[in-house]
Amino acid sequence: MLIKQKGIVIKSVDYGESDKIITILNEHGAKVPLMARRAKKNKTGLQAHTQLFVYGLFIYSKWKGMGTLSSIDVINQNYNLRLDIYESSFASLCTEVIDRAIENDEVSQFNYQLLSFVLQKISNGVSAQLMSVIVLLKNMAKFGFSAIFDHCVLTKNTDQSTLAAYSFKYDGAIAESVIDQDPHAFKLSNRALYLLSILQQLPVSKMNNLNIHSDIVDEMSELVILLYKEYAGMYFKSQKLINQLHRLDNNIEDN
C-alpha cells in the first residue's frame, strides 16, 4: 500500500553501505520508521532529503513492519539548521527528546506541533538552545517527573524574587533565606527560575516574544538537562557534542 504523509525527519541512521533508516514524525503525531534505499548515494537525491529536520511529503509503501521510502517532496529542508554546529546540536536535542518521549505505537499531535513550532522559531533566528529548554520542559511528564519553579518549596513563599536555587533534596526551587538547608542546591538567578516557570506553564501558541539573554538561557538549559539526569536517568546523545562545545568555549575564554 502506497502512503503519502507530511512529516519531519527526527532520526537518520546509516544502514549498510548505501542505505539509511529514517524516522519521521508524521502530521498526525506518529513515528514512522522508513528504509531509504540508496539514500547515501548523491545521485539519488535522497542523501540531502533524508537528513534531520527535513519537512516534506513522504511517499512510502508499507505492509507489515518498517515501510520503504519511495520519494520525498521537500517543503522545507531547514538547511540553515545544519550550518551552525552550535544551533544544530540543540536542534538535534529537540528531535531526540521528542523521539524518546513518544512510544513507537503512540500518537502525539502535541509533539508534532511542538517540533513544527521549534523549527520555525529557530529558522526565524530564535536561539535553538532556548527551544531545547522549551521542548525539555514540555515533555517532563512523559519521562515521569515534574519540577517546581514558581515558589519556595520550604517556606511556601510565592515571591519569586526571593528564589535563589533549585534543590534536588527538596524537589523544587528554594529561597535565599533557606539555602543553607541544602548546601548542594543548584544555584541560579531568580530571573532564570521565573522564566522557567513561565515557559513551563505558557502554551506554545502564546509564545510570541522569545527574546531572552543568552546567559539566562545557559542557566535554564543547564538546570533542565540536570533535572532529566537526576529524576529520569536520561542522558541524550546530543549532549556529548553540546558538552564539547561548552568546554571549547570555556577554553577560549580562559585563554
pTM of the model: 0.92
We report the CATH number of the domain holding residue 53 as 2.40.50.140
pLDDT of residue 160: 95
Q: Is 150 exposed, middle or buried (0-12, 13-18, 19+ CB in 10 A)?
A: middle
User: Do the Cβ atoms of 236 and 96 come closer than 8 Å?
Assistant: yes
Same domain, 138 and 209: yes
Give the model's pLDDT for residue 180: 97
Same domain, yes or no: 6 and 127: no
17 and 105 part of one domain: no
Contact 28, 109 (CB under 8 A): yes
Residues 21 and 138 occupy one common structural domain: no
108, 147 Cβ separation under 8 angstroms: no
Percentage, residues of the chain above pLDDT 90? 77
Q: Domain with 191 in it: what CATH number?
A: 1.20.1440
Domain identity same for 73 and 139: no
Is 17 in the same domain as 89? no
CB atoms within 10 A of CB 62: 15
C-alpha cell at 13: 541512521
Question: How would you write the pLDDT of the chain (255 residues) with one tens digit per residue?
Answer: 799 999 999 999 999 889 999 999 999 999 999 999 988 876 557 888 899 999 999 999 988 789 999 999 999 999 888 888 889 999 999 999 999 999 989 999 999 999 999 999 999 999 999 999 999 999 999 999 999 999 999 999 999 999 999 999 999 999 999 999 999 999 999 999 999 999 999 999 999 888 999 999 999 999 999 999 999 999 998 888 888 877 766 665 555
Let me know if residue 63 belongs to a domain.
yes
66 found inside a domain: yes
Q: What is the pLDDT of residues 67-76, one digit of tens each?
A: 999 999 999 9
Residues 19 and 131 in one domain: no
- Return the pLDDT at 250: 62
Q: What is the Cα–Cα distance from 109 to 116, expressed in whole angstroms?
A: 11
Q: Which domain holds residue 110?
A: 81-146+187-254
131 and 212 share one domain: yes
115 lies in some domain? yes
Handedness of CA 88, 140, 244, 241 (dihedral sign): negative
Neighbours of 243 (CB within 10 A): 12
In the chain, the amino acid numbered 218 is D
Residues 58 and 91 in one domain: no
| Whether 42 and 73 share a structural domain | yes
The C-alpha cell at 105 is: 505505537
User: What pLDDT score does 41 carry?
Assistant: 76
Q: Are residues 139 and 88 in the same domain?
A: yes
Answer yes or no: are the C-beta atoms of 237 and 153 closer than 8 Å.
no
Report pLDDT for 107. 96
- Note whether residue 163 is domain-resident: no
How many domains is the chain partitioned into structurally? 2
Helix (H), strand (E), coil (C) string for the chain: CEEEEEEEEEEEEEECCCEEEEEEEECCCEEEEEEECCCCCHHHCHHHHCCCCCEEEEEEECCCCCEEEEEEEEEECCHHHHCCHHHHHHHHHHHHHHHHHCCCCCECHHHHHHHHHHHHHHHCCCCHHHHHHHHHHHCHHHHCCCCCCCCCCCCCCCCHHHEEEEECCCCEEEEHHHHHHCCCCEECCHHHHHHHHHHHHCCHHHCCCCCCCHHHHHHHHHHHHHHHHHHHCCCCCHHHHHHHHHHHHHHHHHC
